[in-house]
């Protein structure tokens, strides 16, 4: 452990370590080589490992994702970078019908040790075609794992575990976090198990569940809620599939209240799945309905003011937690 650390450093360092220690690992995607990658996440890989292992591709997502699925089945361990999660629509078939299914259909004789790195995130006026948070859509496909790191250390550790997994893992970054700094560089090979949630703060009044960028809104709201006399058990899911529901359940059994926060649209989202399971499996422990804070059911707007209005923020989180605890909303301060 040596220095304060950026989210993109965690991704780059974990990927570099994997390529240095396993010559089966390939990096494939648009601009990942000589241009140093979208958002410079793969900077330096081409110089270190050459064009045979760091492959710049045409703008042909169906082609290079399909090729990576085949390479994984043949014994390689490819990492595909999909520039925006929105572009999953251009290459879903090899993931939906091949990568996620082939182990089941071959009775385990074939595996697809594939990592698909991509980034999501509303903000920065990227508008409707470059701002979608589609993690729930991918989590709906049996056979895919879906990982959503929120911190630099977890960015490193979860990517390490994604490479160790025998099946396809969709590793979803949030571009608003790339230059977020926190903690120190992990040791080489540091791993965070997939499907293991993290308790960020401990409290007995309400369970607050989040992941990725929205977790930071929750962390901002927690001190405000402490001033309101509310002790928050804040849980970072870290992965959507596998889901650490037991961590959620243990917390809700203590607090008797739950609030779920994510940037994706509320309708049919991760929050909907968690709400259903909490309400069904933990009904006898609940003292209040489950609350959700999420984006509205609409394409992401271009205007920054409308983007901000559509996203979770600490004020919305605080008021949702207050509602779960039977308290009135706090009005925003006058400008």
Spatial CB neighbours of 168, under 8 Å, sequence gap ≥ 6: 69, 72, 95, 99, 100, 112, 113, 114, 115, 116, 143, 144, 145
144 and 217 co-located in one domain:
no
pLDDT of residue 3: 59
Are 88 and 176 contained in the same domain? yes
DSSP tag of 334: P
pLDDT the model gives residue 1: 40
- pLDDT one-digit tens code per residue, 105-144: 999 999 999 999 999 987 777 788 888 999 999 999 999 9
- Of these residues, 130, 216, 256, 262, which one is catalytic? 130
Q: What does the alpha-carbon distance between residue 258 and residue 220 come to, in Å, rounded to a whole number? A: 18
pLDDT of residue 57: 97
A 10 A CB-CB count for 301 gives: 18
CATH number, residue 68: 3.40.50.970
- Shared domain for 208 and 169, answered yes or no, is no
Q: Give how far Cα 187 sits from Cα of 2, 157, 239, 315, Å.
A: 9, 10, 21, 37
Q: What phi and psi, each to the nearest 5 degrees, are found at residue 240?
A: -85, -40
Structurally, how many domains does the chain consist of? 2
pLDDT for the residue numbered 121: 85
Q: Which residues pair with 117 in a beta bridge?
A: 81, 171
**Count of CB atoms situated within 10 Å of the CB of 188:** 13
Report the run of H or E that residue 179 belongs to, with start and end. Answer: none
Q: What does each C-alpha distance from 64 to 29, 58, 73, 80, 155 come to in angstroms?
A: 7, 8, 14, 8, 24
- Same domain for 9 and 134? yes
Q: Kindly state whether residue 333 falls inside one of the protein's structural domains.
A: no
Q: Does the residue 147 lie in any domain?
A: yes
Predicted confidence at residue 4, as pLDDT, reads 78
Q: Note whether 54 and 175 are same-domain residues.
A: yes
Tell me: do 227 and 302 sit in the same domain: yes
Place of tokens 């004020």: 315
Helix H or strand E encompassing 264: strand 258-265
Average pLDDT, the chain: 95
Q: Find the CATH number of the domain harbouring 252.
A: 3.40.50.920
Residues 106 and 213 in one domain: no
Q: Please give the angle made by the CA atoms of 136, 137 and 143, to the nearest 5 degrees.
A: 95
74 and 166: one domain?
yes
23 plus 147 within the same structural domain: yes
Residues 310/311/317/323 CA torsion (nearest 10 deg): 30
- Name the nearest CA neighbour of 5 among 167, 187, 145, 130: 187
Is the residue at 179 inside a domain? yes
pTM comes to 0.95
Using CA atoms, how far apart are residues 193 and 208, in angstroms rounded to an integer? 21
> Residues in the chain with pLDDT < 50?
1-2
CB 164 within 8 A of CB 193: no
**113 and 8 within one domain:** yes
| Residue 113 in domain | yes
Instruction: Judge whether 10 lies within some domain.
Output: yes
User: Which alpha helices (DSSP H) does 107-213 contain, by range?
Assistant: 135-139, 152-164
Let me know if residue 329 belongs to a domain.
Answer: no
Domain range holding 291? 198-324
Same domain assignment for residues 142 and 105: yes
Do residue 104 and residue 177 come from a single domain?
A: yes
Rg (CA), the chain: 20
Q: Is residue 110 part of a domain?
A: yes
Active site residue 130: yes
The answer as to whether 189 is a domain residue is no
């Amino acid at each position: 452990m040596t220095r304060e650390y950026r989210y993109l450093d965690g991704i780059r360092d974990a990927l570099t370590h994997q390529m240095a220690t396993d010559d089966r690992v390939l990096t494939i995607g648009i601009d990942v080589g000589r241009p140093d990658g979208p958002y410079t996440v793969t900077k330096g890989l081409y110089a270190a490992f050459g064009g045979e292992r760091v492959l710049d591709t045409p703008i042909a997502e169906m082609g290079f994702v399909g090729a990576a699925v085949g390479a994984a089945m043949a014994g390689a361990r490819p990492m595909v970078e999909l520039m925006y999660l929105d572009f999953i629509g251009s290459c879903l078939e090899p993931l939906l019908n091949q990568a996620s299914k082939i182990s089941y259909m071959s009775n385990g004789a074939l595996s697809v040790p594939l990592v698909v790195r991509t980034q999501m995130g509303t903000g920065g006026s990227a508008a409707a075609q470059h701002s979608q948070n589609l993690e729930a859509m991918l989590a709906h496909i049996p056979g895919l794992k879906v990982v959503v790191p929120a911190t630099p250390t977890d960015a490193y550790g979860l990517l390490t575990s994604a490479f160790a997994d025998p099946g396809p893992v969709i590793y979803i970054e949030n571009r608003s976090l790339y230059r977020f700094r926190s903690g120190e560089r992990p040791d080489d090979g540091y791993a965070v198990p997939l499907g293991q949630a993290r308790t960020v703060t401990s409290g007995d009044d309400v369970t607050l569940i989040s992941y990725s960028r929205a977790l930071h809104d929750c962390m901002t709201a927690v001190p405000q809620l402490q001033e309101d006399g509310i002790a928050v058990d804040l849980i970072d899911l870290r992965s959507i599939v596998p889901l650490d529901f037991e961590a959620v359940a243990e917390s809700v059994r203590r607090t008797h209240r739950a609030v779920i926060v994510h940037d994706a649209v509320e309708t049919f989202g991760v929050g909907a799945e968690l709400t259903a399971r909490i309400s069904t499996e933990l009904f006898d422990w609940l003292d209040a309905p489950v609350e959700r804070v999420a984006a509205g059911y609409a394409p992401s707007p271009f205007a920054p003011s409308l983007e901000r209005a559509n996203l979770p923020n600490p004020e919305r989180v605080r008021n949702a937690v207050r509602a779960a605890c039977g308290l009135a909303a706090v009005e925003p301060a006058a400008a």
